C-alpha cells in the first residue's frame, strides 16, 4: 500500500530503532474492564525482537526465547500482558464475544515449485496481540467520540442468516433463541470446541460465512450510533493499529493527530462516509485478489488428483453457485453438480472433476 521505504522501514517498529508513534495506553483491571485510557504522541525504541510461536510456547510452559532474557523485566512484563489480555477476552466473552478458530492456508514454494499449503493456527501470543488491538481500537473510537470527531468505524452487523445458524446449532443438540444473540451463540461455540476440536474450524467457518462480512461506516456526532461489531461484542470499534498496511488506519491516525493538536477534523462528514464506502469496496476487491491467488495455488496442487473423492463442508450458497471446502488440504472449490437441497454447514462427499490453474477453478460434483 505504501512505498517500501515507508512500509518496511520508517513506519515499522524496527529492532533498536527510534520511531515516532501514537501511543494508545489502557489500564486494565483484574476484572478485565478497561478502567482508563489515554492517547498521546511519543518516541519509542523496540528493545527485543520476538516471534509469535516461540513466545506462545514459552507462555504455555516452554523455554523462554533468548531475546526475553536480554531485557531486564521483559519476562515479567510479558506475563503481565498475557494475564491482562486473557482477562479482557474473558470479559468480552461474558458479553457475547464469539470464539472462532479458522484454518488459513497459504501456499509454500521451494523456488518456483509449489510444495503444499501450510495452515496457520492461532496461539497464545497471537491472541495476546489481538486482544490488545481490540482494546486499542475501542479506546481510539471512544477518544474521537469524546472530542466530537466523526470517525471511521468497523462494524459486523447482526447476522442476516441467523435462522441457518440456529439450524446448525440444533444439529449439534443446542438450542439458540429465534432472535440473534451473541451470548448463547458463543456458549454453543465454546461447547463444540471442547467436544470436537478437530472439526471446530469447520463449524467456525460456517458461522463466519453466515454472519456476513465486516464493513466500514462513518460515525458522525449527532447521528444514530453504528451497529457495532457482532463478533467481538463491542460497540465502539475502529481500525487504527496498522497504518502502514491499511488505509482506514491512516484515516484514523490523521483524525487522532488533528484531535491531539486541537485542530479541526481533516474530513467532513460526507467525505468520511464516502471514504468508508470506498474502503469497504476496495477491501472486498483486495480479498478477491487474495482468494484468486490462493485458488490458483490450490488448483495447481490438486490438478494431479482429478477423479479422487473428498469429504467437504459447504461454505457458501447463492444464485452464483455452491462452494465447498476440503478438510485436507483446506482448499475451496465450486460444486457444479449435485447442489440441490444442501446449505452452508452441510458435510458431504464430492469428486474432483476439473481444475484450471490460470483461472483458479476447482470443480466438484457430489459423490454418491
pLDDT tens by residue, 164-221: 999 999 999 999 999 999 889 999 999 999 998 877 888 888 898 898 889 999 999 8
Which cell numbers in the block locate residue 355?
481444475
Tell me the average pLDDT of the chain: 90
Closest CA to 88 of 133, 118, 125: 133
User: CATH number for the domain including 339?
Assistant: 2.40.50.140
Say yes or no: 228 and 326 in one domain: no
> Looking at the domain assignment, is residue 18 inside a domain?
yes
> Looking at the domain assignment, is residue 328 inside a domain?
yes
Say yes or no: 262 and 151 in one domain: yes
pLDDT at 229 over 90: no
What is this structure's pTM?
0.83
334 Cβ contact list (under 8 Å, min separation 6):
321, 322, 323, 324, 361, 362, 363, 364
Say yes or no: 284 and 311 in one domain: no
Any idea which of 61-65, 118-122, 124-128 has the lowest mean pLDDT? 118-122
Q: Of 293, 323, 341, which residue constitutes the final position of a domain?
A: 293
The listed range with the strongest mean pLDDT (106-110, 168-172, 274-278, 346-350) is 274-278
Say yes or no: 340 and 229 in one domain: no
Q: Once rounded to an integer, what is the mean pLDDT over residues 106-133?
A: 83
> Looking at the domain assignment, is residue 228 inside a domain?
yes
Say yes or no: 242 and 368 in one domain: no
pLDDT at 268 over 90: yes
pLDDT at 244 over 90: no
Q: Once rounded to an integer, what is the mean pLDDT over residues 309-316?
A: 90
At 327 the pLDDT is 76
Domain count, the chain: 2
Helices assigned H by DSSP within the chain: 4-5, 52-59, 66-69, 74-94, 124-146, 162-171, 182-195, 200-211, 247-260, 269-302
Q: Once rounded to an integer, what is the mean pLDDT over residues 159-166?
A: 91
Instruction: Determine if the peptide bond prior to 60 is cis (ω within 30°).
Output: no
Supply the range of the domain harboring residue 62.
4-157+212-293
**Percentage of the chain exceeding pLDDT 90:** 60
At 292 the pLDDT is 86
> Looking at the domain assignment, is residue 336 inside a domain?
yes
Q: Of 265, 293, 321, which residue constitutes the final position of a domain?
A: 293
Say yes or no: 130 and 68 in one domain: yes
pLDDT at 55 over 90: yes
At 199 the pLDDT is 78
Say yes or no: 273 and 320 in one domain: no
> Looking at the domain assignment, is residue 205 inside a domain?
no
Say yes or no: 350 and 326 in one domain: yes
Q: Of 293, 319, 344, which residue constitutes the final position of a domain?
A: 293
pLDDT at 31 over 80: yes
Q: How many residues does the chain have?
A: 368
> Looking at the domain assignment, is residue 176 inside a domain?
no
Q: Beta strand 361-366 with 332-337: parallel, antiparallel or unpaired? A: parallel
At 94 the pLDDT is 81
The helix (H) or strand (E) run that includes residue 230 is none
Say yes or no: 229 and 97 in one domain: yes
Say yes or no: 228 and 278 in one domain: yes
3-state secondary structure at position 59: helix
Amino acid at each position: 500500500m505504501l512505498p517500501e521505504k515507508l512500509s518496511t522501514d520508517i513506519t515499522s517498529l524496527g529492532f533498536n530503532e527510534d520511531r515516532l508513534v501514537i501511543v494508545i495506553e489502557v489500564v486494565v483491571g483484574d476484572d478485565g474492564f478497561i478502567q482508563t485510557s489515554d492517547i498521546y504522541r511519543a518516541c519509542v525504541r523496540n528493545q527485543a525482537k520476538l516471534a509469535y510461536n516461540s513466545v506462545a510456547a514459552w507462555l504455555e510452559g516452554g523455554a523462554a526465547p533468548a531475546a526475553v532474557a536480554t531485557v531486564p523485566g521483559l519476562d515479567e512484563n510479558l506475563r503481565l500482558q498475557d494475564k491482562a489480555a486473557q482477562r479482557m477476552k474473558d470479559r468480552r466473552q461474558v458479553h457475547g464475544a464469539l470464539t472462532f478458530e479458522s484454518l488459513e492456508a497459504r501456499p509454500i514454494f521451494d523456488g518456483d515449485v509449489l510444495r503444499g499449503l501450510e495452515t496457520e493456527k492461532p496461539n497464545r501470543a497471537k491472541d495476546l496481540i489481538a486482544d490488545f488491538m481490540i482494546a486499542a481500537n475501542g479506546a481510539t473510537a471512544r477518544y474521537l467520540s469524546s472530542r466530537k470527531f466523526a470517525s471511521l468505524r468497523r462494524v459486523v452487523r447482526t447476522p442476516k442468516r441467523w435462522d441457518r445458524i440456529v439450524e446448525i446449532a440444533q444439529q449439534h443438540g443446542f438450542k439458540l433463541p429465534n432472535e440473534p444473540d451473541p451470548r448463547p451463540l458463543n456458549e454453543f461455540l465454546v461447547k463444540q470446541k471442547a467436544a470436537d476440536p478437530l472439526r471446530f474450524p469447520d463449524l467456525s467457518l460456517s458461522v463466519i460465512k453466515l454472519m456476513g462480512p465486516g464493513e466500514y461506516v462513518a460515525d458522525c456526532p449527532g447521528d444514530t450510533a453504528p451497529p457495532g461489531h457482532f463478533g467481538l461484542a463491542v460497540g465502539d470499534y475502529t481500525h487504527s493499529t496498522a497504518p502502514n498496511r491499511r488505509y482506514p488506519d491512516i484515516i484514523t491516525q490523521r483524525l487522532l493527530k488533528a484531535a491531539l493538536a486541537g485542530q479541526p477534523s481533516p474530513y467532513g462528514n460526507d467525505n468520511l462516509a464516502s471514504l468508508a464506502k470506498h474502503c469497504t469496496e476496495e477491501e472486498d476487491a483486495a480479498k478477491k485478489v487474495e482468494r484468486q491467488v490462493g485458488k490458483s495455488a490450490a488448483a495447481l496442487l490438486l490438478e494431479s488428483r482429478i477423479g479422487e473423492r473428498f469429504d467437504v463442508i459447504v461454505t457458501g450458497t447463492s444464485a452464483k453457485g455452491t462452494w465447498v471446502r476440503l478438510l485436507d488440504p483446506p482448499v475451496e472449490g465450486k460444486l457444479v453438480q449435485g447442489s440441490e437441497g444442501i446449505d452452508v454447514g452441510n458435510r458431504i462427499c464430492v469428486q474432483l472433476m476439473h481444475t484450471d490453474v490460470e483461472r483458479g477453478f476447482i470443480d466438484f460434483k457430489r459423490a454418491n
